[in-house]
Structure 1
Amino acid sequence: MSEQSQAEFDVIVVGGGPSGATAAYDLAMQGHKVMLLDRAGRIKPCGGAVPPRLLKDFDIPQSLLKAHAHSARIISPKDNRVDMPVGEGGYVGMVDRDEFDEWLRNRAAEAGAIRMTGTYEGIEQGDNNIATICYRTERNGEMQRVTTKAVIGADGARSKVARDSIKNADRVPCVFAYHEIVKVPEEHQEDYRDDRCDVYYQGHLSPDFYAWIFPHGKTASIGLGSANKGFPLRETTKLMREQTGLDGWETIRKEGAPIPLKPLKKWDNGKNVLVVGDAAGVVAPASGEGIYYAMAAGRMGAEAAMEYLKTANAKALAGARKKFMKQHGRVFWILGIMQYFWYSSDKRRERFVKMCDDPDVQRLTWEAYMHKELVKRDPLAHVKIFLKDTAHLLGIKSMEEEQVAKGG
């Protein structure tokens, strides 16, 4: 019997968020022996927005949605407000990560994955590409060592699995996010709706990203992000709550963490380790959306791991990143450019919000969000948006604006 066949697990997944839990579930459903290792009490700060396609692609029940947002309200530095209705029966689903992530982990366990609670400490490489995962148990802190044929690191931004196995994995740029979950009063006079996402593009709330108020049914997420390490996230969230009149609402919990905004150039170690989700940097620039992309990367990671187990060819692991970037790389590139230009100053943020009032922009934005792909039909609309985008960026007034300015 070979040493590889003596490994205790086919795959050990480190991290039980949406990406890791999805990978563990898919692997277990295909009959592989899987261990899912996750830390206790971990809840990621997250607005909790998910598109309808996520429910369809990953067989998620509607019961996990705490709210359905049917519009977004964009607020500019000068407090100009643009409502963006989703339209055509669409919506943005809202989940609470503590409940959503646990449901995904339980589903993986029901499919056959072995759940373990503990803290990843390191990885040791042995003969015949057998890896040993070292972790401390949650109960008594004892060190445990478990062998596996493959490792999937899904342990979030600044992934320790990635740092231990992949060169330059610690250089991914991040936004530092912070939010507070608050209880929504049954009766209130504040300008808040349980079916609308409010997004603030105001430099004093975030110099390079945005702030948000997202409905979660009986609760709401109030938060913001910035890549500036010195930016006072907690103090500014307090300021935003005072600014919006929500400072009197009861605070249930507070959370903060880095969020990566650029996919790693390499997701595997060329041997037996692969990273997915936040560990691979798959959070969309500009929007910060990560749940759908994390689950998609987790599924692609599981597929790559299964191919590796089948063929013993380590090159199969690179297939996860290749497939993800083929499907979503162009969207990430466009959103990265958008964040670089539009979030750099209040003057540009003001123009960006004004551009969001355009019906073509709204329609194509929501279609891309709902279906998770660039809309290929109606190319003339894309041309119109590109021209409008360029005009706004350069401060050139459109013909319609010129007519309004002249009183026509």
Structure 2
Amino acid sequence: MSTEPDFDVVVVGGGPSGATAAHDLTMQGHKVMLLDKAGRIKPCGGAVPPRLLKDFDIPESLLVAHAKSARIIAPSNTKVNMPCGDGYVGMVDRDQFDEWLRTRASEAGATRVTGKCEDVLDRPDGLATVAYRTDRNAKLTTVTARCVIGADGARSRVAQQCIPNGENVKCVFAYHEIVKVPEDNTADYEPDRCDVYYQGHLSPDFYAWVFPHGKTASIGLGSANKGFPLRETTKLMREQTGFSKWETIRKEGAPIPLKPLKRWDNGRNVLVAGDAAGVVAPSSGEGIYYAMYAGRMSADAVNQFLVTGNAKALRGARKAFMKAHGRVFWILGVMQYFWYSSDKRRERFVKMCDDPDVQRLTWEAYMNKELVRRDPMAHIRIFIKDTAHLLGLRPAKA
């Protein structure tokens, strides 16, 4: 390359994916800039599997709650409890969790800059120019880099500018309210239980939730229907569940992608990760673990590109991610398509969740982040029961 760049890599976006990529690349000896907007907290239930702590060296002190079960609520208000057994679902507050990840990247040596990316431009010498503003009224600042990682969310400016069809991302629009749990709580709420509502009036194509966060809770819902009244329905849900008088601390909303992009790189010097790459699990909406995994795969691919100079190495990020999780994403997508399409099917889906085989394999897959293959007969039993429920050959209610 004819010109010495300001940085080896500029990472745009400081959420779990971008902060993980910035940290990993810095630890690999590269000069990294982490560019992130100030003050934004993504709406998120905050659920993480125990494996995340191990894989990404996260201290357990960042968990604000340990959920020991999930309660699934059907349209008829039938409730199915799914205990986690010996495991748990960790809960994090995104304002604290994301900041910890950014701080770790900075302490490892990444240059942290607060600002908003305006443009990513390709230069004739092979470098990329990133233009950003530190605030709305600030002058445009530019830096150059050998590679750019766009981890700037579902409506990624980097993806829209640089990745083929990067603007065509199917999303669920999520909204939640963080509320303070009163000490004298008398509502139907447990600090170690996640409640998931599969009710069409709360979400016509996704679900609503109440997740414990220690002294606070996340109450929210999502829908791919742009016209669906998220705020009004959340208010209705709080009234329905007895949480209407709980103090609201903050309100947040954002689009969440539910399908990985078919391509993550531009073939030259740009790669996307996290929500920008579409790596949120269909059906469940789980994104933190997958975002961090995508961030790590992106860091590995960019490191290979920087070492070899071969831009084909950037393709490795998506290839590695889909090899590890593509099949799970496909299965979850099919589940969402079939079971979330009507209240009749939601009722049958909740009934199916009462099955011991379903519960055991669901939790094992969640904790381990891979499909459980050691019990083929359980999979066969689930397939038969699943087909019977779908065809209406089994009663929806007990």
TM-score, normalising length: structure 2: 0.99
Q: 1:219-368, aligned counterparts within 5 Å?
A: 219-368=216-365
Give SS of 2:167's match: helix
Q: Is the 8 A contact 1:40 1:118 kept in 2?
A: yes
Structure 2 CA distance for aligned equivalents of residues 169 and 235 of structure 1? 31
Per the TM alignment, residue 167 of structure 1 is displaced from its structure 2 partner at its CA by 1.5
Per the TM alignment, residue 187 of structure 1 is displaced from its structure 2 partner at its CA by 1.4
Structure 2 CA distance for aligned equivalents of residues 226 and 76 of structure 1? 17
Structure 2 CA distance for aligned equivalents of residues 225 and 335 of structure 1? 16
Structure 1 CA distance for aligned equivalents of residues 2 and 251 of structure 2? 46
- Match of 2:172? 175
Per the TM alignment, residue 169 of structure 1 is displaced from its structure 2 partner at its CA by 1.0
- Cα deviation, 1:130-185, whole Å, max 9, x if unaligned, reads 01000001385221000000000000001100000011111111000000000000
Structure 1 CA distance for aligned equivalents of residues 72 and 8 of structure 2? 47
- Match of 2:2? 3
Q: Is the 8 A contact 1:40 1:138 kept in 2?
A: no
- Cα deviation, 1:198-246, whole Å, max 9, x if unaligned, reads 0000000000000000000000000000000000000000000000000
Per the TM alignment, residue 257 of structure 1 is displaced from its structure 2 partner at its CA by 0.1
Q: Is 1:212 matched up with 2:236?
A: no
What are structure 2's unaligned runs of at least 5 residues?
none
- Match of 1:92? 89
Structure 2 CA distance for aligned equivalents of residues 245 and 129 of structure 1? 58
Per the TM alignment, residue 188 of structure 1 is displaced from its structure 2 partner at its CA by 1.1
Give SS of 1:172's match: coil
Counterpart residue identity of residue 235, structure 1: E
Structure 2 CA distance for aligned equivalents of residues 141 and 325 of structure 1? 40
Structure 2 CA distance for aligned equivalents of residues 9 and 24 of structure 1? 12
Counterpart residue identity of residue 298, structure 2: G
Structure 1 CA distance for aligned equivalents of residues 195 and 341 of structure 2? 20
- Match of 2:18? 20
- Match of 1:385? 382
What are structure 1's unaligned runs of at least 5 residues?
none
Give SS of 1:267's match: coil
Give SS of 1:127's match: coil
Structure 2 CA distance for aligned equivalents of residues 62 and 11 of structure 1? 30
Aligned match for 1:397, one of 375, 394, 398: 394
Q: 1:145-184, aligned counterparts within 5 Å?
A: 145-184=142-181
Per the TM alignment, residue 3 of structure 1 is displaced from its structure 2 partner at its CA by 2.3
- Cα deviation, 1:263-302, whole Å, max 9, x if unaligned, reads 0000000000000000000000000000000000000000
- Cα deviation, 1:349-373, whole Å, max 9, x if unaligned, reads 0000000000000000000000000
Runs of 4+ aligned structure 1 residues displaced above 4 Å come to none
Percent identity between matched residues is 76
Per the TM alignment, residue 334 of structure 1 is displaced from its structure 2 partner at its CA by 0.1
Per the TM alignment, residue 397 of structure 1 is displaced from its structure 2 partner at its CA by 2.2
Give SS of 1:169's match: coil
Q: Is 1:203 matched up with 2:221?
A: no
Give SS of 1:167's match: coil
Q: Is the 8 A contact 1:123 1:132 kept in 2?
A: yes
Structure 1 CA distance for aligned equivalents of residues 373 and 41 of structure 2? 37
Counterpart residue identity of residue 292, structure 1: Y
